[in-house]
Structure 1
Amino acid sequence: MEAYTCTDLGLESRDDVVYNYSKNSGDFSDHGDSGSLIFTGDGDGLAILHSGMPRGRHNHVTYGTPLWWVIKQILDKYPSAELYGITYTLD
């Protein structure tokens, strides 16, 4: 799931949201996991994990910055950046 927010000052936040698979699966993320890559079930890169928080007794929510957003920000700032052939599409 993707979440998007914009503050009154125009600051944007884009996050991919990961919910626990089940009550018995354990938390998806823990302290010290920030900066880890989150992959899809097909093995494609999805996001860079930045936070997680408990939501009730058996629920945990993890947030990550989408890789397409990270790559866009890098290329906007450094248009000549070489990403070693890495491309990212929303397909």
Structure 2
Amino acid sequence: MFEIEDFAHLLFIHPTHLSNTIQGIAGTSPCGIYQIKILDIAKRLLSDSDKSIQDVALILTFEPSQFTKWFKRLSGLTPKQYKKQSKIAINNKY
């Protein structure tokens, strides 16, 4: 996982300047943008029936219990609820 300092270093600017610029343009912090992107990846991985919740957590470098708390805070569902819901949606598609 990259940190704001990593991106700032690649752009040859100070991390605070990068953070303030992103906040000003996007209306949210870099962390907020990053978390939304990670949540999208987590949802895609959870939709894959071959991957367990623990597998997804580890792929995204979370401890499994922390992943569950983080996922629920951002999505409103636990990973297990999301996985079940996405499985139902896929079955209804066909």
Give TM-score, length-normalised by structure 2.
Answer: 0.28
Higher relative contact order structure (alpha carbons within 8 Å, sequence separation ≥ 6): 1
User: Per residue, is there more strand in 1 or in 2?
Assistant: 1
User: Per residue, is there more helix in 1 or in 2?
Assistant: 2
- Rg larger for: 2
